[in-house]
Structure 1
Amino acid sequence: MPLTNGCPDLLSEVRAFRARYPEVRYVDLISLDIPGHFYGKRYPVEMLEKVAAGSALKLPQNCVLLGVQGGLFPIGDYCFNDGDPDAPRRLIPGTLKPVSWERQPLGQMLISSDGTAAPIEFEPREVLARVLERLARRGIKPVVAFELEFYLFDRVLQEGLPQFPRDAFSGDPDDQPNMHIERLSRFGEVLHDMVETANAQGIDANVMTAELGPGQFEINFGHCADGLQAADWAALFCRSTRGVALKHGLRASFMSKPYLQAPGSGMHVHVSLYDNAGNNLLAADGQRPLRHAVAGCLELLPHCMPIFAANHNAFRRYGAMVNAASRASWGFEDRDACIRIPESDPRNLRIEHRLAGADANPYLVLAAILSGMEHGLEAQREPIAPLNEDRASGIDFPKDMLAAVAAMRDHAAVNERLGREFVMVYCENKRQDHLAFQQEVSAREYRWFM
């Protein structure tokens, strides 16, 4: 059986980590499942060195299939008819970092089945890896930057409901939200710790913005020429940010729509495409490829909604308040559009895909966006009118999970580009998660119907 790890660079990385952090005894080996949660194992650091030297690393294949609450659903022959087999994983070089938000010294490192002898077809990182490999064979090199919005809450819930956060200086709740720079100062201690912790994880987190919602902020990442690494950054940032918030007596959440009367939180993804010579492909021929890429994204968007809106709550975000589109649309410098074209020089011409909720899976969001762009470049069709020319321009997309799953499940281009096995597994996972969510009688139902 081929080894899934074992290379001098990995071994050197682990040994250098042990020398620099001798107090760390355990390392969390983590990977993202379909709903966007980390699963994995906590390894003694001396055992991690053995894995880096070539010992096999295996976890159950079906860890990837966990529902949003951690349970397993019967999906095809998986979970309950396959004997719950192990599948090989590999260590992701460069991701072994210290964890600073736990009470005891700890490390963490990403693992994945992509690049192993038997990759899991429906693992999110493997899905993105296949899309990137396909683009690479065509000489297309994406450059990607994520932006993530999130909310801070008081650590203590009241009757299960989140409360506005209080700043450390005045103790006042952040109940009069605005985009003023002073809010960054009021919550500067926790926000700066979030960025510095992310930087220590190897994440190029940089610009901070106070958003419109109470306790809502946005942090941007640098543009990255490695699509897998860009998605790694987004995933790891969510983990570290929640941990840092708890350390400061707060909660952080990337929930898409925590308050009905406040803006939702989005995952904005900037994507430009370059050839092997470093030329921006979108800017060629009077920006014709840009228009083709936009057309492809708009065509596939209604059939990728379970990816962009990954749960029941995420659908509440669309059309509810400012900058939350209710139809698939595009425009130049227009934040009401799903796909915004920021003003830039030809070298940096890019799309900004603004539809996904902040709690979506970053690997799958990027895979869907790149697949849409690839589809458009191949079909070479012109997009609908931009919002700058027609404010009514747009294409309808599903507004609930069951309709979204139906639109995704049998779509030929989505199955071809993301993988038929992945689409089947993902749609069934989302369908059953949604049905499980409905199996609880809410207080509202008693108010309405008793």
Structure 2
Amino acid sequence: MKSPSATLLAEVRTFRQNHPEVRYVDLIALDIPGHFYGKRYPVEMLEKVAAGSPLKLPQNAVLLGAQGGLFKIGDYCFNDGDPDANRRLVPGTLKPVSWESQPLGQMLITSDGTEAPIEFEPREVLTKVLERLHHKGIHPVVAFELEFYLFDKKLDDGLPQFARDPLSDDVDDQPNLHIERLSRFSDVLDDMAQTAKAQGIDITVITAEIGPGQFEINFGHCDDGLRAADWAALFCRSTRGVALKHGYRASFMAKPYLQFPGSGMHVHVSLYDGAGNNVLAAHQQQPLRHAVAGCLALLPHCMPIFSPNHNAFRRLGGTVNAATRASWGFEDRDACVRIPESDPRNLRIEHRLASADANPYLVLAAILAGLEHGLEARQEPIAPLNEDRSSGTDFPVDMLDAVRAMQHQSVVRDKLGAEFVDVYCENKRQDHLAFQQEISAREYRWFL
């Protein structure tokens, strides 16, 4: 068996042979708000890193706010000397970038698996949750679904414009689910799908959604939770790049139009034991009920993860299939936790609350923590919506309330890590306060 460095070195050398035109590779990782940060390396230096040379980036790059600023969080950023932290290359993620004007490659990096992983790095948080589940003999299988909007490339005084129909040269301003929209935008959608596949992402179904210029992409079910979250993160990056190449903007913003549905991140999760048996289907599906109860119990305390910014809270309620309370149901898209119809082998939950711009590593970590908590506590859930349309429990619908609900919840701190929870909550609090520091034109119209 090859050592990790030998495997990485072979991957880099094979890439260089297949893509001799590529001179630089972007080494990228996801920060807390869900943006990629990193460095652009000459490809010959990447070979040295793959062979074992240190790869260091500032530890506090993970703490960047939504606009890239640094916040004082405990001693981080301003009282710690801004130290470097080791990163490692993620095997299997070195791929060509086709949407840039010049030949380029990209590869994921992470602190998980290093001697001193960053406790609040999103990928490390998910790694710890998965390792704990695997130690208990539980193996998740995960599939993400992501909704997004296409806009015209040019903004109108900073506001998005409807995408132009390439066949009629008119704006696509009619919300619908028609299959013809897939045909009208087939050039850009096909390029998005093919580019994602070239990145190693298992793309399956493409759907024209209800909003004007809104689409949904489904990913294949994956028995590696980290890889499933990698796919979701990388898809957002490649899709935005491909859209610009075709004269559009692609955005995973949660609620770009108040009058049309928002964009969500739906996550399907099933759990299997070491023998391949579906844990949720055992004992007349009693573990499923326990898992649902755990998800619903932690959901109000994980809202800063599921709705990571001010705009994301706008998505909740008011339009189709967007819940305002923690609820569940069989084949019910109004529920936060939906149980799709399936045979016992494929029995799973579909968690529908997160916005499309949420951090996929943290969303999956929070969902799995809820499932784990439910299997441990073995509590019965509230009535499903199929039995009682008013069933549900309240959750915070404001960022500051959500942060207060998350920061001191003992189960969340235990499952996701106390250091992460403190850092994440302060990051969201500071981002929210910074967002409120700008006076909008509407405010002048109302009060000047």
TM-score (norm 1): 0.99
Q: Hey, what does 2:81 align to over in structure 1? A: 83
Q: Hey, what does 2:334 align to over in structure 1? A: 336
Determine the C-alpha separation between the residues in 1 that align with 2:142 and 2:280: 14
CA displacement, residues 421-444 of structure 1 (integer Å, 9 cap, x when unaligned): 000000000000000000000111
Letter in 2 for 1:13: E
Q: Name structure 2 gaps, 5 residues minimum.
A: none
Determine the C-alpha separation between the residues in 2 that align with 1:243 and 1:449: 40
CA displacement, residues 173-219 of structure 1 (integer Å, 9 cap, x when unaligned): 11111001000001111001000000000000121000000100000
Q: Hey, what does 2:187 align to over in structure 1? A: 189
Q: Hey, what does 2:293 align to over in structure 1? A: 295
Q: How do residues 20-31 of structure 1 correspond to structure 2 at under 5 angstroms?
A: 20-31=18-29
Q: Hey, what does 1:249 align to over in structure 2? A: 247
Q: How do residues 1-150 of structure 1 correspond to structure 2 at under 5 angstroms?
A: 7-150=5-148
Letter in 1 for 2:81: G
Determine the C-alpha separation between the residues in 2 that align with 1:332 and 1:31: 36
Determine the C-alpha separation between the residues in 1 that align with 2:237 and 2:174: 28
1:373 corresponds to which of 355, 371, 374 = 371
Determine the C-alpha separation between the residues in 2 that align with 1:91 and 1:176: 44
Is the Cα–Cα contact under 8 Å of residues 150 and 253 in structure 1 kept in the other structure?
A: yes
Determine the C-alpha separation between the residues in 2 that align with 1:263 and 1:191: 20
Is the Cα–Cα contact under 8 Å of residues 60 and 85 in structure 1 kept in the other structure?
A: yes
Identity of aligned residues (%): 81
Q: Hey, what does 1:323 align to over in structure 2? A: 321
CA displacement, residues 244-300 of structure 1 (integer Å, 9 cap, x when unaligned): 000000000000000000000000000000000000000000000000000000000
Q: Hey, what does 1:160 align to over in structure 2? A: 158
Determine the C-alpha separation between the residues in 2 that align with 1:7 and 1:105: 25
Determine the C-alpha separation between the residues in 2 that align with 1:271 and 1:315: 24
2:403 corresponds to which of 386, 398, 405 = 405
1:352 matches 2:384: no
CA displacement, residues 378-404 of structure 1 (integer Å, 9 cap, x when unaligned): 000000000000000001000010000
Determine the C-alpha separation between the residues in 2 that align with 1:122 and 1:7: 26
* 3-state secondary structure, aligned to 1:27: strand
1:281 matches 2:302: no
| 4+ residue runs over 2 A deviation | none
1:262 matches 2:257: no
1:361 matches 2:356: no
Taking a change above 3 Å as real, the CA distance of residues 380 and 6 of structure 1, as seen in their structure-2 partners, is: closer
Letter in 2 for 1:168: P
2:198 corresponds to which of 197, 200, 214 = 200
CA displacement, residues 87-128 of structure 1 (integer Å, 9 cap, x when unaligned): 000000000000000000000000000000010000000000
C-alpha displacement at 1:26, in angstroms?
Answer: 0.1
C-alpha displacement at 1:331, in angstroms?
Answer: 0.1
Aligned length: 446
Determine the C-alpha separation between the residues in 1 that align with 2:166 and 2:27: 34
CA displacement, residues 313-345 of structure 1 (integer Å, 9 cap, x when unaligned): 000011120000000000000000000000000
Determine the C-alpha separation between the residues in 1 that align with 2:154 and 2:252: 17
TM-score (norm 2): 0.99
Determine the C-alpha separation between the residues in 1 that align with 2:268 and 2:204: 15
C-alpha displacement at 1:6, in angstroms?
Answer: 5.8
Letter in 2 for 1:323: N
1:433 corresponds to which of 422, 431, 434 = 431
1:307 corresponds to which of 305, 311, 317 = 305
Q: Hey, what does 2:387 align to over in structure 1? A: 389
* 3-state secondary structure, aligned to 1:252: strand
Determine the C-alpha separation between the residues in 2 that align with 1:259 and 1:178: 15
Taking a change above 3 Å as real, the CA distance of residues 342 and 23 of structure 1, as seen in their structure-2 partners, is: same
Letter in 2 for 1:56: P
Is the Cα–Cα contact under 8 Å of residues 60 and 86 in structure 1 kept in the other structure?
A: yes
Is the Cα–Cα contact under 8 Å of residues 6 and 51 in structure 1 kept in the other structure?
A: no
1:420 corresponds to which of 409, 412, 418 = 418
* 3-state secondary structure, aligned to 2:73: coil
1:209 corresponds to which of 204, 207, 210 = 207
Determine the C-alpha separation between the residues in 1 that align with 2:412 and 2:312: 21
> How well do the aligned residues superpose, as a CA RMSD in angstroms?
0.6
Determine the C-alpha separation between the residues in 2 that align with 1:205 and 1:37: 21
Determine the C-alpha separation between the residues in 2 that align with 1:305 and 1:330: 16
* 3-state secondary structure, aligned to 1:161: coil
Is the Cα–Cα contact under 8 Å of residues 254 and 265 in structure 1 kept in the other structure?
A: yes
Determine the C-alpha separation between the residues in 1 that align with 2:157 and 2:338: 40
Determine the C-alpha separation between the residues in 2 that align with 1:19 and 1:176: 47
* 3-state secondary structure, aligned to 1:7: helix
Is the Cα–Cα contact under 8 Å of residues 6 and 54 in structure 1 kept in the other structure?
A: no
